[in-house]
Amino acid sequence: MTTHLSYVHGYSEHETRRLGEQADTLAALLHSGTSYLAGSRVLEVGCGVGAQTVHLVESSPEAEFVAVDVSATSLAEARARLLAHAPTARVSWIRADLFRLPFPEASFDHIFVCFVLEHLTAPQQALKALRRLLRPGGTLTVIEGDHGSVFFHPDSAYARAAIDCQVRLQSAAGGNALLGRALHPLLTSAGYAQVTVRPRTVYADTSRPELVGGFTRSTFIDMIAAVRDQALEAGLMTAEDFDRGITDLHRTTDEKGTFHYTFFKGEAVKTKEA
Amino acid sequence: MTTHLSYVHGYSEHETRRLGEQADTLAALLHSGTSYLAGSRVLEVGCGVGAQTVHLVESSPEAEFVAVDVSATSLAEARARLLAHAPTARVSWIRADLFRLPFPEASFDHIFVCFVLEHLTAPQQALKALRRLLRPGGTLTVIEGDHGSVFFHPDSAYARAAIDCQVRLQSAAGGNALLGRALHPLLTSAGYAQVTVRPRTVYADTSRPELVGGFTRSTFIDMIAAVRDQALEAGLMTAEDFDRGITDLHRTTDEKGTFHYTFFKGEAVKTKEA
């Protein structure tokens, strides 16, 4: 049995572009505070198409990265993305399952995991497995979203229901789109020390057009719109109601709209005892 | 007809303490960035028991404040609070209705409004009325919460329903407990310029006991628990379900719990033309 379930967002070209845009718009918000010393060995788990990897290497040009993903297609795209954006970056690419990583104990100084735990049935086990790979004193950085953090103006029950489709589909696939709020207890119960979790909030209104376009529209609404077929097939909403939900979400990007989403960034240490 | 409706939180001694604790815990979060030059004339509208006033005068010891509230009892408490905490502060206390403020046009450099608009049936009109009182180039600062920003771990439908009672009761009283998300369009449509709204997020987990105690427990849960009688009387929930909701909210303050709430702080300018 593989522990990596079907990826709710899919692997289309459009999805690749969406993840790229998301990462660029959010880079400053999510990556601030994360930089690794020269010569550090850093493992990025679930690098996908390299959307975060480009920012990791930018913030830590002298660190040595190992980027792992289960999808060969994603790894190929990630490699191409890095070649285009940061040709001199020191990244090794390895295809492997998160639960069968081919590294000896204590072989990394730092581990970075972004938007991965939300797709796993056993995030706590995954965190424990990663802890083994950290040297004592090494750090883990985790970034996750929480779709329950979404609220907007004008409010709309249809829009909320459409978002809920995504939450339920992700849950049916074994994941948890509400993981962000549980990050602190997850890290603590997985045996990490000095656990610090902070919200990293996206708030977009007409005074921040780059967030309205880059996050609300191209990242969030597109992500919800992309589950339309699955949602209808699963009988979660009628086509009419779902489409109205998407239309209403787009109203939050208008002149008088606002949109709020919270990511959570956690940092934790592997102690000697742990 | 008075435009100031029945105040959903009531005026009890317990409520006075709650508002004081809320203000102390949140002072740094809400007041950072707000300080007024020596000699500035600043109007605080809806000062209540002075919970914010003490922090205003602390941040701007050389400004001249006029603090207005509709309740004589609250004003007396506010005056006592200031005497105890900041005896040298320059504050004049005036009892008046927000829509009949006894000041000439353009008589203030700055206006500060915190947790007031959410209780009004006509917040936009109020903002327009306040704009009249600002000199050209003067600024308005508004802070409001949004109960739709609440999410927590462990999640609980009962807890969410109990919170929703507060939202519905406030709405029935003519207010809007979800006002925060609408602050930007409200300020813009009231004719202000250079409108900037930013979230000010409270996130509490076991690593931040002062927020768990001071905000989640003593401020938020106490506020929800206080509407129990009104909620039952209005038939919004059964006593059993409501009490379970409060019990579940308390679980978010346990070792493995987390709690998230977003305030919004808006700043805007009265332009010469406006």
A257 touches chain B (CB under 8 A): yes
pLDDT, tens digit (0-9, with 9 covering 90-100), for B110-128: 999 999 999 999 999 999 9
Mutate to test the interface with B, among A117, A153, A208 (most CBs of B within 10 A): A153
Cβ distance B196 to A206 less than 8 Å, yes or no, reads no
Asked if pLDDT for residue B60 goes beyond 70, the answer is yes
What pLDDT sits at residue B2? 33
Whether residue A236 contacts residue A165, with contact meaning beta carbons closer than 8 Å, is answered with: yes
Whether residue A118 contacts residue A144, with contact meaning beta carbons closer than 8 Å, is answered with: yes
Arithmetic mean of pLDDT, A133-151: 98
Q: Which residues of B touch A206 (CB under 8 A)?
A: 184, 188
Q: What is the spatial distance between Cα B78 and Cα B117, in angstroms, rounded to a whole number?
A: 19
Cβ distance B181 to A149 less than 8 Å, yes or no, reads no
Cβ distance A189 to B256 less than 8 Å, yes or no, reads yes
Q: Which residues of A touch B193 (CB under 8 A)?
A: none
Cβ distance B185 to A258 less than 8 Å, yes or no, reads yes
Element (H, E) at A34: none
* pLDDT range class, residue B26, cuts 50, 70, 90: confident
Q: Enter the tokens of residue A129.
A: 């497995």
Cβ distance B260 to A149 less than 8 Å, yes or no, reads yes
Q: Hey, what amino acid is at B68? A: V
Cβ distance B146 to A148 less than 8 Å, yes or no, reads no
What pLDDT sits at residue A5? 43
Q: Which residues, including other chains, have CB under 8 Å from residue A148's CB and lie 6 or more apart?
A: A167, A177, A178, A181, B151, B155
Whether residue A267 contacts residue A140, with contact meaning beta carbons closer than 8 Å, is answered with: yes
Q: What is the spatial distance between Cα B218 and Cα B223, in angstroms, rounded to a whole number?
A: 8
What residue spans of chain B are helical by DSSP H?
13-31, 53-59, 72-85, 123-133, 157-172, 183-189, 209-211, 222-225, 228-233, 239-251
Cβ distance B206 to A189 less than 8 Å, yes or no, reads no
B206 touches chain A (CB under 8 A): yes
Cβ distance A197 to B258 less than 8 Å, yes or no, reads yes
A103 touches chain B (CB under 8 A): no
Q: What is the spatial distance between Cα B230 and Cα B226, in angstroms, rounded to a whole number?
A: 9
Element (H, E) at A45: strand A41-45
A171 touches chain B (CB under 8 A): no
Q: Report the residue of chain A nearest B160, measured CA to CA.
A: A148
Task: Residue B76: name the closest of B42, B48, B116 by CA.
Answer: B48
Asked if pLDDT for residue B174 goes beyond 80, the answer is yes
> How far is the alpha carbon of B244 from chain A, nearest alpha carbon, in Å?
21
Q: How many CB pairs under 8 A join A and B?
A: 85
Of B181, B195, B206, the CB nearest to A260: B181
Q: Which residues of B touch A188 (CB under 8 A)?
A: 206, 256
Asked if pLDDT for residue A4 goes beyond 70, the answer is no
B199 touches chain A (CB under 8 A): yes
* pLDDT range class, residue B28, cuts 50, 70, 90: confident
CA distance between the termini of chain B: 29
Q: What is the spatial distance between Cα A126 and Cα A41, in angstroms, rounded to a whole number?
A: 19
Q: Enter the tokens of residue A146.
A: 């929480």
B118 touches chain A (CB under 8 A): no
> How far is the alpha carbon of B261 from chain A, nearest alpha carbon, in Å?
9
Sign of the CA dihedral running A217, A223, A229, A235 = negative
Q: What is the three-class DSSP state of B103?
A: coil
DSSP assignment of A128-172: HHHHHHEEEEEEEEEEE--GGG-EEES--HHHHHHHHHHHHHHHH
A208 touches chain B (CB under 8 A): no
pLDDT, tens digit (0-9, with 9 covering 90-100), for A11-23: 677 666 666 656 5
A199 touches chain B (CB under 8 A): yes
B65 touches chain A (CB under 8 A): no
Asked if pLDDT for residue B24 goes beyond 90, the answer is no
Of B181, B255, B257, the CB nearest to A152: B181
Q: What does DSSP say about strands B258-269 and A91-95: parallel, antiparallel, or unpaired?
A: unpaired
Q: What is the spatial distance between Cα B26 and Cα B271, in angstroms, rounded to a whole number?
A: 31
Q: Which residues of A touch B189 (CB under 8 A)?
A: 256
Element (H, E) at B205: strand B193-205
Asked if pLDDT for residue A33 goes beyond 60, the answer is yes
Arithmetic mean of pLDDT, A204-212: 94
Phi, psi angle pair for A134, to nearest 5°: -85, 140
Complete domains list, chain B, with CATH: 13-269 (3.40.50.150)
Asked if pLDDT for residue A268 goes beyond 80, the answer is yes
**ipTM value of the model?**
0.90
Q: Which residues of A touch B198 (CB under 8 A)?
A: 203
Asked if pLDDT for residue A244 goes beyond 80, the answer is yes
Cβ distance A258 to B198 less than 8 Å, yes or no, reads no
Q: Which residues of A touch B256 (CB under 8 A)?
A: 185, 188-189
DSSP at A114: E
Arithmetic mean of pLDDT, B189-212: 96
Asked if pLDDT for residue B234 goes beyond 60, the answer is yes
Whether residue B65 contacts residue B34, with contact meaning beta carbons closer than 8 Å, is answered with: no
The mean predicted confidence, pLDDT, of chain A is 93
B188 touches chain A (CB under 8 A): yes
For the whole model, what pTM was predicted?
A: 0.91
Q: Which residues of B touch A155 (CB under 8 A)?
A: 148, 178, 181
Whether residue B47 contacts residue B73, with contact meaning beta carbons closer than 8 Å, is answered with: no
Cβ distance B152 to A181 less than 8 Å, yes or no, reads yes
Q: What is the spatial distance between Cα B201 and Cα B29, in angstroms, rounded to a whole number?
A: 8
Q: Which residues of A touch B255 (CB under 8 A)?
A: 185
> How far is the alpha carbon of A201 from chain B, nearest alpha carbon, in Å?
8
